[in-house]
Amino acid sequence: MSASSPELASPSSVPTDDAAATAPAVTPVRVLLYSDDVATRDAVRVGVGRRPAKDVEIVAWHECATPAAVIEQADAGGHDLLILDGEAAPAGGLGLTKQLKNEIFDCPPVIVLTGRPADGWLASWSQAEAAVPHPLDPLQLCATIAEVVRTHIA
């Protein structure tokens, strides 16, 4: 074989890893998910999956079904994002968001699941970073999570 043989690769034809160098960094996110309804929690987890966006990866889900558990877990820390169901009973995610934002120093960003699109003003009142209305649309939920992570965490 000679140096001009097509089987030999010249240094200029060796592929480089430029794609990896220009790819966005992936932000790992630990999520605290609250709803008294297991079907709602399942819908959120299944709808979002592990990668709501190319640059956002959910590395852990911690589910809570009671307001006391949410307060305890949020106070303990270790979560990057809270997703709280505004339709949960006996305490909804909107009131819990307001309480957490007022009581926990450096509270993680919160996405609330509201009963309807017109409840956006309640999400603003509660100091939530974003709101997603029921019925839950997985694409909207993923886009909202990605936006909140990019804006407040990454």
User: Coil, strand or helix: which one is 80?
Assistant: coil
Residue 49 contacts by C-beta under 8 Å, 6 or more apart in sequence?
58, 142
Is 140 part of any domain?
A: yes
User: Do residues 113 and 136 make contact, with C-beta atoms less than 8 angstroms apart?
Assistant: yes
User: Do residues 34 and 84 make contact, with C-beta atoms less than 8 angstroms apart?
Assistant: yes
Is 22 part of any domain?
A: no
Tens of pLDDT, residue by residue over 119-132, are 889 999 999 999 99
Position 139, amino acid? L
In this prediction, the residues of the chain whose per-residue pLDDT falls under 50 are: 1, 5-6
| CATH number for the domain harbouring residue 44 | 3.40.50.2300
Is 128 part of any domain?
A: yes
Is 10 part of any domain?
A: no
Q: How many domains does the chain have?
A: 1
Is 3 part of any domain?
A: no
Q: What is the pTM of this model?
A: 0.85
What pLDDT was estimated at residue 24?
73
What pLDDT was estimated at residue 117?
87
Is 1 part of any domain?
A: no
Is 131 part of any domain?
A: yes
CA distances from 129 to 34, 80, 82, 121 (A): 16, 13, 10, 12
Is 103 part of any domain?
A: yes
Domain of 65?
A: 29-152
